[in-house]
Amino acid sequence: MKKLGMLALMGIIGLGLIIPCYAEKIVLEGSTTVLPIAQKAAEAYMDKNSGVNISVRGGGSGVGIASLLDKNCDIADSSRPIKDTELDKAVTNGVDATANIIAMDGLAVIVNPANSVSKLTKKQVKDIFMGSVSNWSQVGGSDEKIVVVSRDTSSGTFEAFMTLVLEGNKTRSDALMQASNQAVASTVAGTPGAIGYVGLGFLSSSVKALELNGVVPSRETVISGTYPVTRPLFMYTNGKPKGLVKDFIDFILSDDGQKLVEEEGFVGLKEKK
């Protein structure tokens, strides 16, 4: 019996040597805009720290903040500032929701590449998304119905667009609501007459980014402050970051981390003076 017990113990020890046991784990959840930054940073951080497990989930800024307030994640990725109602819930739940800015972004207004329109004013975009302009001929394009593509209401990108472009007004009721930046880009790319908006990191040759008030959305125009629709990107934590969470955020803010931010198409904080 003693021999069998010793063999069992040795088997358990052997399994422990084979099966990885993570000493530390953090969970990130939220914004689909911040998602590619979080994923790349997590991969790079885990490559350098083999004893760490970082889980990254999307769902939207509202989903991430709600998860943080319910103490279900360590970091809430958000492309908008936290709302007063969320702060009230944080107090009720004993959570000190603390903002950590990790990058800058510009909201690019995009159309199908076949569209002849290459520039709009903020007012024209507002009129299109609110429904008072419904045909491209009204803004210098061809006689074609405008198809509005928007983010869903749990999205920080939606909130930012509503605040910075629509000035607090709601988008038209027949807008095609999408669950991610990539879904917006894909829908616009495959829909003649479509118009939408995405973060800089989601621009590609499959869509055409419009000049807004005569300024092209780009890293350079965000840095210079000339592009009219810019925003910070956040990672919210419960109180001032500490321990592994602090180390991970410090990594994102480091030269290597900010290089990853730039590689994903966003604007590093070290670039914006």
Phi and psi dihedrals of 140, rounded to 5?
Answer: 90, 10
Task: Report CA 159 to chain centroid distance, whole Å.
Answer: 12
Instruction: Decide if pLDDT at 15 tops 90.
Output: no
Q: Are strands 97-111 and 119-120 parallel, antiparallel or unpaired?
A: unpaired
Two tokens, residue 112:
């199908």
pLDDT value for 11: 46
The average confidence (pLDDT) of the chain is 91
Instruction: Decide if pLDDT at 2 tops 70.
Output: no
| Domain boundaries 24-104+233-263, CATH class | alpha beta
Q: Are strands 208-209 and 97-111 parallel, antiparallel or unpaired?
A: antiparallel
pLDDT value for 164: 95
Domain ranges of the chain: 24-104+233-263, 105-230
CB within 8 Å of 2: residues ≥ 6 apart: none
User: Residues 118-135: what's their mean pLDDT?
Assistant: 98
User: Residues 7-18: what's their mean pLDDT?
Assistant: 43
Q: Which of 175, 179, 177 is nearest to 134 (CA)?
A: 175
pLDDT value for 97: 98
Distances (CA, A) of 158 to 32, 49, 64, 171: 11, 35, 15, 10
Equal CATH topology for 24-104+233-263 and 105-230: yes
pLDDT value for 23: 52
Instruction: Decide if pLDDT at 246 tops 70.
Output: yes
Instruction: Decide if pLDDT at 124 tops 60.
Output: yes
Task: Note whether 96 and 238 are within 8 A (CB).
Answer: yes
pLDDT value for 270: 73
pLDDT digits (tens, 9 = 90+) for 66-114: 999 999 999 999 999 999 999 999 999 999 999 999 999 999 999 999 9
Distances (CA, A) of 139 to 73, 189, 227: 45, 20, 21
| Domain boundaries 105-230, CATH class | alpha beta
154: confidence class by pLDDT, cuts 50, 70, 90: confident
Instruction: Decide if pLDDT at 6 tops 60.
Output: no
197: confidence class by pLDDT, cuts 50, 70, 90: very high
Instruction: Decide if pLDDT at 3 tops 80.
Output: no
Instruction: Decide if pLDDT at 5 tops 70.
Output: no
pLDDT digits (tens, 9 = 90+) for 217-241: 999 999 999 999 999 999 999 999 9
Give CA–CA dist 199/197, Å, rounded.
Answer: 7
pLDDT value for 271: 55
pLDDT value for 137: 98
